[in-house]
Amino acid sequence: MIRSPVTQGALAAALLLGCAPLATAAAQSVGDPTKCPWLNPTLPLATRVNLIMQKMTVADEINIVQGNGSSQPYVFYIAANPTLCMPALGYEDGPAGVADGLKNVTQLPAGVVLAATFSRNLALQYGSVIGAEQSAKGSAADLGPTVNIDRDPRWGRSFESLSEDPTLTAQIGKNEIEGIQGQRVQAQVKHFVAYNQETNRNTQADDVLVTDRVLHEIYEPAFATAIRGAGAASLMCAYSSVNGFYSCQSRSLLTGVLRNEYNFKGLVMSDYGAIHDVVAALAGTDSEQPFNTYFGAPLMNAVLNNTIPRAVLNSMVAPIVSEAFRFGFFNAPPSGSTTAVATTPAHVAFATSLAEAGTVLLQNQGATLPLTAGTDVAVIGPAASTQVTTGGGGSAYVIPSTVVTPLDGIRAASTGSVTYAQGLPNDTQLAAIPAGDLSAPYSGTPFAGSYTATLTAPETGTYVLAITNPCGCYTPTTLSINGNALIVNPGTPPVSTYSAAVSLTQGQTYTVAISGASGGLNWATPSQLQAYIAPAVQVAAAASAAVVVVADDTESEATDRPSLSLPSAQDELIAAVAAVNPHTVVVVQAGAPVTMPWLGSVSSVLDTFYPGETDGTALAAVLYGAANPSGHLPVTFPARLADVPAATVAQFPGTGGVVDYSEGLLVGYRWYDAKSITPLFPFGYGLSYTSFRYSGLKLSSSAVDGVTPVVVSAVVTNTGKVAGSDVAQLYLSFPAAAGEPPRKLVGFRRVTLAAGQSQTVRFTIAPSAEWWWNGNAWDESSGTYHVYVGDSSALTGLPLSRTYTMSTTIGNRGVRVIAPRGIAAGQSATVDVTLSAGGNETLNAVSLALAAPGGWRAVPMASTTRQTLLPGQAVTVPFQVTAPSGAVAQNVTLYGTADFSPGVCGGASTSAQEANPAALFNQAALGVTGCGKVTRHGGVQVRLQR
């Protein structure tokens, strides 16, 4: 696991952006080293932590683990303790830049845009920009990235997450974390775990019922990679309940998985108010934010009366101060200010290039795009100018320093005529419903509670209804028609008025109900809508091309979307424009999939998701061909809501207090593949202004042993006339006995090619990519594995396919550590590390080890290596573990590992690969050195007792 906050890649990204990271070396001390010896940076980290904790009182420790309220300049805050030479530490949202109302920052494109690039390098730069601006604002930590899997497109936070796929999410998240922490800012990865909806969040009614296998294979991999691959400093536990326990109070998740399985050494902080009982301290949550409801006086009292041992409190404090030492905060505290100007021209330029790279071209019939600069264009839609949507709502909302509207961007790029028509009323332009049409006229006075009236439609057609939520306090307001939810308004920035279209019949009466906190009920009748649509149709008919910009501004933390439809009457507007102009280009600015009933009548569709503050500049570059769209969908676009994996109410948002994840492993594209459902657009899909051909698929071996990696190579050729980028994707299909989905993504490479250029792309299928979770350990299945390469998850997008076989496997082999519950300071105990039996593969070069925290000693009492280990044979090595005599009482993880190689690396073997010497030659030719090594892990928590 990477433990240095500054990595070489992050350094390169920082220098590229002109924002060199702050040094982690010792700086001018803020305290007296003679009074605070832990300020000495030459001491081992564990020694520094122990020295400061020996001086802490219970009150000192409570001050570190409790929240300090929202009166501080940062959303989460740990107060300074001058006596301990400990600086104040502020934590700030968010996933797309510095949030929480701070200004003079760069509003970057949303996380879903970053994921659409499938670019590790852009993820590194994205994190570097966020880290640099957080540092400028004096923040010690960025509350991000959001690596929760996008289980359902209705999730209100889909836009801030990365994708529906564990591999893509894990890899993009890893590089973003490295970029953030390369700026000496901690990344707080959120939200652990299975947090996939807003409905009923932070209540027991949002109790996720999910198997351990699904957690390990779908919802946990991104967190595991953040810990093991990126050295993430902290994690945020989630609002969701999982299998009967609030996430922040689940010992099985926070201790069993994070500490014992993933060996996480950082701190676990609660989401806003996500702790419901002081027992969260026993489960493994280290800090309550932003208030001290449970970790203030209640925790202090529990420790003082020994209801909760002091060792538990020490265990909570240790990772907080340890990470503060690791990031150099004691010697060089964060020095920025919330009033500082954090944005820079380089950051803004990066935001533009990212928005361009993440734009997905979904359709381009007749090669309408790119437009020529002299084309006469009609730009249509409120989202193009008067109601622009550049980001989602809630804690992820970043106040842009400036906004380039789509209309402004197009006008700046065009040399032809650009005519604008709004096309629909803005939500704030909708009028109050007259008393004659509403049985109980709505006064417009804000209220909290419920409101019911009958509405009689004065004409037949499409209406737009809107509600205003003035609360700004994450209190959802719902508008229902005849009991069907039409709008759910979360009351979060930046939007307070939401609208939706509904068809009503003249003279018919409807029941209108509002619940929540509302400040307005407005509408536009069919006649009023036509007064806006008719001028738009007129300018569209007169133009060579029509660009209709539509947006979904309803996506936000605190609520989920009731449907996948565009708000207001934007679908109707598109249909009307397309009827008069065959060169209609639709630009969708939405953070999640939307349905497209008009798709067959328009020529081109671009999806920019939430593109950030340079929206119009990036859009114009793509429209006019200065940038070639190269984004690929990180989520599946369903043709209709009924097709989504969690289509039943029991699955989303749940019934009877349970959210049933009965789709299991079939999340996202895996569901559509397994059920043979054709989506509107598949995961991984994206067009270009050029074309690509895939050829020459090669595998390093056609027979493997379950331990040796498989190297895959293919040739990508740009067969068009302009330069462009494509995303080569590798999918793997398992033997039927494994019970896996039809295919899953195991690798991706973004490749940029000039016209006519070819490039060989290589992927490595690590042994772990062939594993599946079997009860309490990873397992493998023998049989035939299918490899697919192309540029989308659909079989039509995967032109290359080969197979390899695995005749022997390492099977269900796991590492188990057996230790006493407690070891007294200065005393020793025997701890056993066991590699369990399993599989039918002979293992060679087997090596067992036990890692203990700094200051502890773990000495093997027998040989830790075995030349061979026969199929079905287990091995145990005892270690004498000695606890440090001077350390404070606390819980620690003893972490066991087992390394082993296949038989061909160690001599005699039943490996199928040994019978094929050419396989080793092929590996060397494709860049593989050695035979590979597999590592299995397992840990146990013990208490150092005094």
pLDDT, average across residues 851-873: 96
Q: What is the pLDDT of residues 107-151, one digit of tens each?
A: 999 999 999 999 999 999 999 999 999 999 999 999 999 999 999
The tokens of 326 are what? 């690791």
User: Per mean pLDDT, which range of 27-31, 99-103, 641-645, 697-701 is the poorest?
Assistant: 27-31
pLDDT at 5: 63
What letter would DSSP give residue 642?
G
Give the angle 672-677-682 at the CA atoms, nearest 5°: 55
Q: What percent of the chain has pLDDT over 90?
A: 88
Q: What is the CATH number of domain 428-526?
A: 2.60.120.380
> How far is it, in rounded angstroms, from Cα 242 to Cα 206?
8
Cα distance between residue 399 and residue 102, in whole Å: 7
Q: What is the pLDDT of residue 837?
A: 94
Amino acid at 662: S
783 — alpha (psi -120 to 50), left (phi > 0) or beta?
left
How far are the Cα atoms of 75, 289, 498, 648, 687 from residue 78, in angstroms, in the given order? Answer: 10, 9, 37, 43, 48
Asked if residue 590 lies in contact with residue 383, where contact means CB atoms within 8 angstroms, the answer is: no
What is the per-residue pLDDT for 690?
A: 98
Asked if 746 and 763 count as a contact pair (C-beta separation under 8 A), the reply is yes
Instruction: List Cα–Cα distances, 538 to 384, 422, 524, 527, in angstroms.
Output: 17, 12, 21, 17
Q: With cut-offs at 50, 70 and 90, classify the pLDDT of residue 906.
A: very low
- Residue 378 above 70 pLDDT? yes
* Per-residue pLDDT tens over the stretch 576-610: 999 999 999 999 999 999 999 999 999 999 999 99
Binning pLDDT at 50, 70 and 90, where does residue 474 land? confident
Quickly state the pLDDT bin for 27 (edges 50, 70, 90): very low
Q: Enter the tokens of residue 203.
A: 């209540």
- Give the model confidence (pLDDT) of 609-646 as tens digits: 999 999 999 999 999 999 999 999 999 999 999 999 99
Say which DSSP state 63 is in: H
Q: What is the pLDDT of residue 470?
A: 84
**Interval 375-385 mean pLDDT:** 98
Q: Are strands 865-869 and 545-551 parallel, antiparallel or unpaired?
A: unpaired
Q: Where are the alpha helices (DSSP H) in 857-934?
A: 903-906, 918-925
Domain ranges of the chain: 428-526, 692-806, 815-945
Q: How far apart are CA 847 and CA 869, in angstroms?
A: 11
Q: Is the peptide bond before 98 cis (omega within 30 degrees of 0)?
A: no
Residues 6+ away with beta carbon under 8 Å from 859? 879, 880, 881, 882
Q: Is the pLDDT of residue 917 over 80?
A: no
Residue 28 has pLDDT above 70, yes or no: no
| C-alpha to C-alpha distances, 113 to 98, 420, 533, 555, 633, nearest whole angstrom | 17, 27, 31, 15, 9
CA 605 to chain centroid, in Å, comes to 25
Strand-pair category, 758-765 with 710-718 = antiparallel
HSE value, Cβ hemisphere, 13 Å, CA-based, for 353: 13
Asked if 51 and 41 touch (Cβ cutoff 8 Å), the reply is: no
What is residue 895's DSSP assignment? E
Position 921 pLDDT exceeds 90: no
Grade residue 659 by pLDDT with cuts at 50, 70 and 90.
Answer: very high
Q: How high is the pLDDT of residue 494?
A: 85
> Whose structure tokens read 């040989």?
863
Q: Check residue 29 and give its pLDDT.
A: 53
Specify the residue for token string 């949303």: 110
851 vs 228: CA distance, rounded Å: 15
Instruction: Tell me how far CA of residue 40 lies from CA of 241, 332, 690, in angstroms.
Output: 42, 12, 58
Distance CA 310, CA 96 (A): 38
Residues belonging to the chain = 946
800 pLDDT above the threshold of 60: yes
CATH class of 692-806: mainly beta
Give yes or no for residue 22 having a pLDDT over 60. Answer: no
Half-sphere exposure of 62 (CA within 13 A, CB side): 20
Pick from 91, 94, 199: which is nearest to 146 by CA? 94
Sheet of strand 245-246, all strands in order from the earlier edge strand to the far edge: 245-246, 241-242, 207-209, 658-660
Gap between the Cα atoms of 875 and 849, Å rounded: 12
Angle at which helices 615-623 and 345-358 cross, to 10°:
50
pLDDT band at 371 (very low <50, low <70, confident <90, very high): very high
In the predicted structure, residue 468 carries a pLDDT above the cut 70: yes
**pLDDT over 90 (residue 70):** no
Common-topology check for domains 692-806 and 815-945: yes
Architecture of domain 815-945: Sandwich (2.60)
Q: How far apart are CA 929 and CA 633, in angstroms?
A: 34
Q: Mind listing the pLDDT tens digit for each residue in 153-175? A: 999 999 999 999 999 999 999 99
Closest CA to 177 of 138, 123, 214, 228: 123
Q: Which of the pair, 180 or 495, is modelled with greater confidence? A: 180
Considering only CA atoms, give the Rg of the chain: 29
Lowest mean pLDDT among 2-11, 199-208, 303-312, 905-914: 905-914
Q: What average pLDDT score do residues 249-268 get?
A: 98
Q: How confident is the model at residue 30 (pLDDT cuts 50, 70, 90)?
A: low
3-state secondary structure of 640: coil
CA pseudo-torsion sign 921, 924, 928, 931: positive
Q: Give the pLDDT band (50/70/90) at residue 26.
A: very low
Q: Per-residue pLDDT tens for 740-782?
A: 999 999 999 999 999 999 999 999 999 999 999 998 899 999 9
Average pLDDT of the chain is: 93
Range from 227-236, 516-525, 703-712 carrying the lowest mean pLDDT: 516-525
